Amino acid sequence: MERRVIDEAKTTGGTDLAALNAPGDLGKGIVRLHPWQERFFRDPARVTLAIWHRQAGKDFAAAAKAVDDAFRTGRDWYIVSLTQRQADATFDKAKRIAECFKRLLKRKGEVTLDAHDYNEWDAEIKENFRQTARTLCLPGGGTVTALPGRNPDTLAGLTGSVIFTEFGLMPRGGYDHWRVIFPLSTRGYQVLVISTPRGKNTKLYDLASNREDYSVHVQTILDSVREGFVLYDNAGRPTTVETFKRLYGDDAGWTREYMCEFTGDLEALLKWGQLEAAGADGPGEFEVYEITRGAGWRADLFANLAVGRGERLEIGWDVARRGNLSAVSVNKRLPDQRRRLVRLVLMRDCEFALQRQVLSALMDRSPSAVGAGDATGLGMDSNETLALRYGEKRWRSCTFTQNFKRELASALATAFSDAAQLLPPAADPWKFIHTDLYAIQKEGDDRNLSLLETPNPLLADSHCDVAYSLGLARIAAALASVEMACWTA
């Protein structure tokens, strides 16, 4: 589409910029847009999202919007892309549009280009990348700069309007990029977010779900066809959506890439909707404790954790010493047999002696408390110590074999499908719990099921450690069956 528009622009008679921006006349000017592109182009919102199907012209419309604003106002725009290739592709569109606008406006001055290399350090893969920032300098002082930015910190300190291209593909769900780069627009500038959907554990999903604060434009392939979009086969002949879908041959991909649905949970062990529903009752008595090396032990740490009649504490401990996160989930079994997550303890680089004190303090809150821990590798000694202290009816030492992971996966899947597990709400400051559970991916069927740990964009040092600790708490639930009359008041 973009090449056709620019080629036509070489021979189409132009109007002035006022006509270009007049309702109904945009498509008659030197840059022609589809109806959905025109709606996006005209949207004055502070934050505007284009959640469009593949090849709907997201980058072209965003580039036109940026160039037009830079021409009229003299303001600066930044195109933030994940890769150099994407940055160059979007910048090329902006450059061609600027030349067309220049001829339309008949302004004095030249459209000039500036480029400089810079090195970007990627901490995750510990490697420098040589990148090129390209700037389009427009008459009147406005600029459009393309910045490949895998690491958002390299872009901090700039000021201007921002285009996030393919925001759904940004590392760590785009949360870091949004946190660092959105402030560029503080002084009244605009933010354009353009992408095809990905998973629900992304900042893109957060933005698209908040239509009260953000202007969200969704365009499926069916919407575009209704508005004049034509699909062609490889011989250049028009074809139908049904034929194109059949040739694509991927129902899951079609739903995401062409129907613009956030379907990243197709391979997730737990569906995002289940996790949201688990937090619908509110936070209850939930609290998070974070303990770091050298913090020392507080004997009163869990003094406010009460266990009433008909309730029982069920504890899961995913063990780690350095690097990974040591996580302890504390479920409270309620009289109606549901479990509510009431405490979460996150320990970073803590001595095992301190970690055992934490577990013992929790187990000692009630004589009916039960627990299960990860006894794989470094956790073996600590789990043996707890098993000896509390006995096999109250503590289970678990080795993370493939068979045990299937048991744990089944316990988690059943708990959330039956609405038997309650969580705090899936919103800040607790959303990292839900994203950790969502990060457990599955492969294979029930007989050959294997679990994969994917990154949690909201908790960098977790490798599904919070999720596995909650799974171990569910495993602990099967250890003891204590009569309600025996439970403490």
Question: According to the model, what pLDDT value does residue 115 have?
Answer: 66
Q: Domain residue spans in the chain? A: 2-264, 272-486
* Alpha carbon of residue 439 to chain centroid: 10
Q: What is the pLDDT of residues 338-353, one digit of tens each?
A: 999 999 999 998 999 9
Section 313-333 average pLDDT: 92
Looking at residue 486, its pLDDT comes to 37
pLDDT the model gives residue 118: 55
303-312 pLDDT, tens digit each: 999 999 889 9
pLDDT band at 463 (very low <50, low <70, confident <90, very high): confident
Identify the band that residue 264 occupies on the pLDDT scale cut at 50, 70 and 90. low
What are the residue ranges of helices labelled H in 418-481?
431-438, 465-476
Identify the top-confidence range among 154-168, 328-342, 394-408: 328-342
Lowest mean pLDDT among 3-7, 19-23, 33-37: 3-7
Tokens of 300: 């009163």
Angle between helix axes 84-105 and 2-9 (nearest 10 degrees) is 20
Backbone angles phi, psi at 75, to 5 degrees: -90, 165
pLDDT category, 76, cuts 50, 70, 90? very high
Q: Check: CATH 1.10.10.10 for 2-264?
A: no
CB–CB of 272/435 below 8 Å? Answer: no
Express each pLDDT in 90-133 by its tens digit. Answer: 999 998 888 887 776 655 556 666 666 555 555 454 555 556 67
Residue 227 zone, left/alpha/beta (φ > 0; ψ -120 to 50; rest): alpha
Confidence of residue 67 (pLDDT cuts 50, 70, 90): very high
Tell me, what's the pLDDT at 267?
75
State residue 147's pLDDT score. Answer: 85
| 296, pLDDT greater than 80 | no
What's the whole-number average pLDDT of the chain?
A: 84
**What is the rounded average pLDDT of the residues 370-388?**
93
State the pairing for strand pair 215-219/339-348. unpaired
Strands 143-148 and 47-52 turn out to be unpaired
Q: Rg of the chain's alpha carbons, rounded to an integer?
A: 27
430's CB contacts (< 8 A; 6+ apart) are: 279, 283, 286, 288, 423, 424
* Position 10 pLDDT exceeds 70: no
* The predicted structure's pLDDT at residue 263: 77
Token couple for 189: 């500038």
pLDDT over 70 (residue 17) = no
The residues, any chain, with a CB within 8 Å of residue 169's CB and separated by 6 or more, are 82, 195, 198
CA torsion 422-425-428-430 (nearest 10°) is -10
Give the span between the Cα atoms of 331 and 313, in whole angstroms: 6
| Percentage above 90 pLDDT, the chain | 50
Secondary structure in 3-state letters for 149-177? CCCHHHHCCCCCEEEEECHHHCHHHHHHH
Return d(Cα 348, Cα 321) in angstroms, integer. Answer: 7
Least confident of 78-82, 355-359, 362-366, 395-399: 78-82
The domain 272-486 is classified under which CATH number: 3.50.50.60, 3.30.420.240, 3.40.605.10, 3.20.10.10? 3.30.420.240
Phi-psi region of 434 (alpha: psi -120 to 50; beta: other; left: phi over 0): alpha
Of 330, 340, 365, give the one whose Cα is nearest residue 488: 365
More confident residue, 486 or 178: 178
Cβ–Cβ under 8 Å, residues 17 and 29:
no
Confidence of residue 15 (pLDDT cuts 50, 70, 90): very low
Q: Which of 350-354, 402-406, 434-438 has the lowest mean pLDDT?
A: 402-406
Residues 335 and 311: their CA atoms lie apart, in Å, by: 6
pLDDT 10s digits, 199-211: 888 899 999 999 9
pTM exceeds cut of 0.85: no
8-state DSSP, 14: P
Strand partners for 315: 330, 371
